Amino acid sequence: MSGLRKGVRVSALVASIVMSLVALLPAQAQQNGDVLFQNVRIFDGRNGALSGPSNVLIRNNKIEKISTGPIAADAQVIAGDGRVLMPGLIDAHWHALLVRPTPAAVMASDIGYINLLAAAEATATLMRGFTTIRDMGGPAFSLKRAIDEGLVAGPRIYPSGAMITITGGHGDFRPLSDLPRTIGGMLSRMERIGGAMVADSPDEVRVRAREQLMQGATQVKLTAGGGVASPFSPLDVSTFTEPELRAAVEAAENWGTYAVVHAYTPVAIQRSIAAGVKCIEHGHLMDDASARLMAEKGIWLSTQPFLDMSGASALGPAEQDKMRQVVAGTDRVYGFAKKYKLKTAFGTDVLFSKALADRQGAMLSALTRWYTPAEALIMATSTNAELLGLSGLRNPYPGMLGVVEEGALADLLLVDGNPIDNIKLIEDPAKNFLVIMKDGKVYKNLLGGDRNR
């Protein structure tokens, strides 16, 4: 009997330790029932004006009812006390697997370690109030699955899978010792982990695009011109030919979705539009003719307010020089976006820098250099959600995102203050985001709440 009692005590101790560890896990969902936000003013993601005092009922994973009158429900009540309830933020250009490691670590570390880093960053991303991201290159499929299954707390992910590049193009991180490439031979480390795929003909592009779609890509991403972070890729180069770009566009359209391209220069932008690409990423070196063509064709611009990039310390001197050229073009790209009323999405494109990732909200507030706070917040909510909708039936999260409306998916932030009056509130999410909800589940709640019948 003493052995049995000892076993029971050990089992109880182990259970206690496990429960203590579970309690310390960051950002775990805190409830499974209905939630009622009482006395909140709503920024709905579409209009700059706040609502009057309102009540919002969340049932399952959707906003079931919004009312200026009382709502009777058996629900956890969160007293808003006049604070602002707004949609979760959306980052339209993110790299979930490439935020924290250095380029050298990506190439040399075990992919399991890279995924663990990415899981930690995913939780941090959610805690910054970004409940959805569009991943623009990297092996994010397993991370997305883990988040969707509730194993990891993180944002919704719209994955592109491996970015498709050419030999020496942006995204080709192979060392020179890997050359010459053997056509049909062994894949490089970069390709084996799904970071980027090299494709040097329309047929190769078509295969690589279809492979990403097979794995669950919601859009296909190619690098149509040079880039900052890649070691052998000058900014001014144009990479894919029009037939190569068209092969990816056709593969994506056959799956009911769309292709996007990384492109800075007029040649890369115009060639991509001619091939049927629906969205240009970046565009900082564009000219007036390219912007006008985008407006005429209804092409999306997904760009980033690159201003203070001092946190990009992992980049070498050559890459830092390229970054300075891009930063110098930031005013120009937003000037063209406003001049031609381009359909413009907000993203951050953070690579290899946790310090920059921590300033994700500050990059959004930096949009007020060109837009009002309301316009900036609308861009990061309902406008970005409209871009996500281009994935059609490949959309892994059908439903309305980026808005506070009846029937919309319940991705919500309760803000201590009014971000339309003071957008800098989003720069300190730890202090100012009192409640963070994604898919109807509360991941952060500094207010508590009781059941209401």
What are 373-432's pLDDT values in tens digits?
999 999 999 999 999 999 999 999 999 999 999 999 999 999 999 999 999 999 999 999
Q: Is the pLDDT of residue 279 over 60?
A: yes
Q: Which residues of 60-79 are buried (b: 16+ CB within 10 A; e: fewer)?
A: eebbbebeeeebebebbbbb
Q: Report yes or no on 201 lying in a domain.
A: yes
Q: Is the pLDDT of residue 92 over 70?
A: yes
Q: Report yes or no on 169 lying in a domain.
A: yes
Neighbouring C-beta atoms of residue 397, cutoff 10 Å? 18
Q: Report yes or no on 333 lying in a domain.
A: yes
Q: For residues 79 and 96, state if they share a domain.
A: no
Residue range 271-287: average pLDDT?
A: 97
Q: 49: domain range?
A: 35-88+403-452
What is the structure's pLDDT at 105? 82
Q: How many residues does the structure list for the chain?
A: 453
Q: Report yes or no on 177 lying in a domain.
A: yes
The sign one gets for the Cα dihedral 332, 334, 335, 340 is positive
Burial of 445 (0-12, 13-18, 19+ CB in 10 A): middle
Among the three residues 347, 370, 393, which one is the final residue of a domain in this structure?
370
Q: Report yes or no on 100 lying in a domain.
A: yes
Among the three residues 316, 351, 370, which one is the final residue of a domain in this structure?
370
Q: Is the peptide bond before 175 cis (omega within 30 degrees of 0)?
A: no
- Cα 384 from chain centroid? 10
Domain count, the chain: 2
Neighbouring C-beta atoms of residue 258, cutoff 10 Å? 22
Residue range 167-189: average pLDDT?
A: 83
Q: For residues 223 and 326, state if they share a domain.
A: yes
How far lies 44's CA from each of 51, 318, 431, in Å? 8, 43, 22
Q: For residues 166 and 256, state if they share a domain.
A: yes
Q: Is the pLDDT of residue 309 over 80?
A: no
Q: Is the pLDDT of residue 438 over 70?
A: yes
Q: For residues 274 and 414, state if they share a domain.
A: no
Q: For residues 69 and 100, state if they share a domain.
A: no
Helix, strand, or coil (residue 414): strand
Q: For residues 65 and 122, state if they share a domain.
A: no
What residue type is 54 in one-letter code?
S
Structural tokens at position 268: 């890369």
What is the structure's pLDDT at 65? 98
- For residue range 61-76, list pLDDT tens digits in order: 999 999 999 999 999 9
Among the three residues 370, 394, 418, which one is the final residue of a domain in this structure?
370
Q: For residues 357 and 408, state if they share a domain.
A: no
Rounded Cα distance, 69 and 143, in Å:
41
Q: Which residue has the higher pLDDT, 183 or 243?
A: 243
What is the structure's pLDDT at 14? 38
Helix, strand, or coil (residue 207): helix
Burial of 311 (0-12, 13-18, 19+ CB in 10 A): middle
pLDDT cut 70: percent of the chain above it: 91
- Cα 127 from chain centroid? 13
Q: For residues 138 and 253, state if they share a domain.
A: yes
**Side-chain-side CA neighbours of residue 155 (13 Å):** 30
Q: Is the pLDDT of residue 206 over 50?
A: yes
Q: For residues 101 and 250, state if they share a domain.
A: yes
- Of 234, 263, 163, 177, nearest to 205 (Cα)? 163
423: CATH: 2.30.40.10
- For residue range 214-258, list pLDDT tens digits in order: 999 999 999 999 988 788 888 989 999 999 999 999 999 999 999
Q: Report yes or no on 60 lying in a domain.
A: yes
Using only C-alpha atoms, what is the Rg of the chain?
23
Residue range 144-153: average pLDDT?
A: 98
- Cα 289 from chain centroid? 29
**pLDDT band of 179, cuts 50, 70, 90:** confident
Structural tokens at position 178: 């890997």
Rounded (10°) CA dihedral 245, 347, 62, 434:
160
Q: For residues 286 and 421, state if they share a domain.
A: no
**pLDDT band of 22, cuts 50, 70, 90:** very low
Q: Report yes or no on 385 lying in a domain.
A: no
Rounded Cα distance, 159 and 150, in Å:
17
358: CATH: 3.20.20.140
Residue range 292-318: average pLDDT?
A: 85
Q: Report yes or no on 78 lying in a domain.
A: yes
Q: For residues 72 and 112, state if they share a domain.
A: no
Q: For residues 258 and 241, state if they share a domain.
A: yes
* 373 contacts 423 by C-beta, under 8 angstroms: yes
* 229 contacts 352 by C-beta, under 8 angstroms: yes
- What pairs with residue 76 in β-bridges? 35, 451
